[in-house]
């Protein structure tokens, strides 16, 4: 089957670094994406990893290891505004290009 | 560029009714996807359209349908509404399939 596993919640303090892991099981693979969603808001795209390695975008970095079916999102210099839910997603290859499957989300709480 | 827009933003319907939700993608984006979000089930993929053709479909009953027009605008329809259909329905557009840009969603309440 197709599934993604990520922790349900993570707590960290302002200024710290936090890593949110995501493991996936799919019938095919076409890259790992990360999205952020604040309460009451829509998900917003953060990053995409199509190949193994680290992608960095400002305070956020994302890593992928296809051999381990594993990726993570790294948030540095945490700020209160980073409190949100974070979703990993994979495009599972199917008959016509694959549907996007989301993990259940990790709720990040940043404390002062 | 203007973002993804969805109408209506809020909707209250009764069981058995049907509903049509609308989505206008970012200009130039030909792919439009629909998702259902509920507290218990998270973000569930409904379907994806590309150039007026349904490219992928999630595991939802046939009461859920959609279409895409030549201008890439998309609609989804839910017939014979059930209480369990209460959810936030999100539309997303993409130019490359990897980056999904979401609209604000339509909050549907079925009573």
What are the C-alpha distances in Å from B57 to residues A41, A60, A90, B12, B29? 25, 32, 15, 26, 19
pLDDT digits (tens, 9 = 90+) for A53-100: 999 989 999 999 999 999 999 999 999 999 999 999 998 776 555 778
Record: contact B104-A104, CB cut-off 8 A:
no
Structural tokens at position B68: 């895409």
Q: What's the mean pLDDT in B8-15? A: 98
Residue in B with minimal Cα distance to A104: B42
CB contact under 8 A, B102 and A44: yes
Confidence of residue A106 (pLDDT cuts 50, 70, 90): very high
Residue B77 has pLDDT above 60, yes or no: yes
pLDDT confidence tier of residue A1, bands split at 50, 70 and 90: low
What is the rounded distance in angstroms from the CA atom of residue B61 to the CA atom of residue A80?
A: 40
Q: Supply the pLDDT for residue B43.
A: 92
Q: Work out the pLDDT band at A25, boundaries 50, 70, 90.
A: confident
Where does the pLDDT of residue B64 fall: very low under 50, low under 70, confident under 90, or very high at 90 and above? very high
- pLDDT recorded at residue A92: 75
- In the structure, what pLDDT confidence band is assigned to residue A21 with cuts at 50, 70 and 90? very high
Give the best residue of B56, B106, B107 to mutate against chain A (max A CB count within 10 A).
B56
A11: three-class secondary structure by DSSP: strand
Distance CA A35, CA B64 (A): 25
User: Distances from the Cα of A110 to the Cαs of A20, A79, B56, in angstroms?
Assistant: 13, 7, 37
Nearest to A43 among B55, B97, B102 (CB): B102
Which residues from A are below 8 Å from B when comparing CB atoms? 30-31, 33, 35, 41-45, 48, 50, 87, 89, 91, 94-105
Distance of CA A107 to the CA centre of its chain: 11
For B30-62, what is each residue's pLDDT tens digit? 999 999 999 888 899 999 999 999 988 888 999
């Amino acid at each position: 089957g197709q599934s993604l596993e990520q922790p349900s919640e993570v707590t960290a303090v302002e200024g710290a670094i936090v890593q949110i892991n995501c493991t996936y099981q799919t019938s095919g693979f076409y890259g790992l994406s990360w999205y952020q969603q604040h309460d009451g808001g829509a998900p917003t795209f953060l990053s995409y990893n199509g190949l193994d390695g680290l992608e960095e975008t400002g305070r956020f970095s994302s890593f992928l290891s296809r051999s381990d079916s594993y990726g993570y999102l790294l948030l540095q210099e945490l700020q209160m505004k980073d409190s949100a839910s974070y979703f990993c997603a994979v495009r599972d290859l199917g008959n016509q290009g694959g549907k996007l499957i989301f993990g259940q989300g990790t709720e990040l709480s940043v404390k002062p | 560029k203007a973002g993804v827009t969805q109408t209506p933003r809020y909707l209250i319907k009764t069981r058995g009714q049907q509903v049509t939700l609308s989505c206008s993608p970012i200009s130039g984006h030909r792919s439009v996807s629909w998702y259902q979000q509920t507290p218990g089930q998270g973000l569930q993929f409904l379907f994806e359209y590309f150039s007026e053709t349904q490219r992928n479909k999630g595991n939802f009953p046939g009461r859920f349908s959609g279409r895409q027009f030549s201008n890439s605008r998309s609609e989804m329809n839910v017939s014979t509404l059930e209480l369990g259909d209460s959810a936030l329905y999100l539309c997303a557009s993409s130019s490359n399939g990897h980056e999904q840009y979401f609209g604000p969603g339509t909050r549907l309440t079925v009573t």
